[in-house]
């Protein structure tokens, strides 16, 4: 995971800049120290669960970027609905019930 973010940060400076260059650069520059701190602080299992939950919905983001200009609008709308559904389930519901509640429950 740390390698992915380091590679993505370096690749941003090699490729042609996108519209979201500064936002993604800030995202990667902030994420790298957080992941490094999690490794050094031995939060490996926790960061693994969080990464699996968050990265699940990123599959649909890559898919929608790939088909947005190639396929008709109906397919794009279907993928967008799947993206939003997975984002709500994984990043809001599952993150709260498994990670936040679990962290609060385990700390008692």
Domains of the chain, residue spans: 1-42, 51-108
Q: Which residues contact 64 (CB under 8 A, 6 or more apart)?
A: 76, 79, 80, 83
Asked if residue 34 lies in contact with residue 18, where contact means CB atoms within 8 angstroms, the answer is: no
Residues 54 and 14: their CA atoms lie apart, in Å, by 26
Residues 47 and 33: their CA atoms lie apart, in Å, by 13
- Model confidence over 47-83: pLDDT tens digits? 887 788 877 777 788 788 788 777 788 888 888 898 8
Asked if residue 2 lies in contact with residue 36, where contact means CB atoms within 8 angstroms, the answer is: yes
Prediction pTM value: 0.62
| Torsional sign, CA 87, 34, 29, 3 | negative
- Model confidence over 24-49: pLDDT tens digits? 889 888 888 988 888 888 887 778 87
pLDDT given for residue 68 in this prediction:
78
pLDDT given for residue 103 in this prediction:
64
Whether the per-residue pLDDT at 107 is higher than 60: the answer is no
pLDDT given for residue 90 in this prediction:
86
Average pLDDT over residues 72-100: 84
Kindly tell me the burial class for residue 41, based on how many C-beta atoms sit within 10 Å of its own C-beta (0-12, 13-18, 19 or more).
exposed
């Amino acid at each position: 995971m740390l390698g992915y973010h380091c590679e993505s940060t370096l690749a941003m400076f090699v490729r042609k800049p996108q519209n979201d260059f500064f936002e993604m650069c800030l995202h990667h520059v902030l994420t790298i120290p957080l992941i490094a701190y999690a490794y050094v602080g031995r939060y490996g299992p926790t960061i693994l669960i969080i990464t699996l939950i968050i990265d699940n919905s990123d599959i649909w983001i890559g898919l929608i970027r790939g088909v947005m200009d190639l396929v008709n609008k109906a397919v794009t709308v279907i993928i967008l609905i799947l993206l939003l559904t997975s984002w709500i389930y994984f990043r809001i519901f599952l993150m709260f019930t498994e990670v936040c509640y679990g962290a609060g429950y385990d700390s008692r």
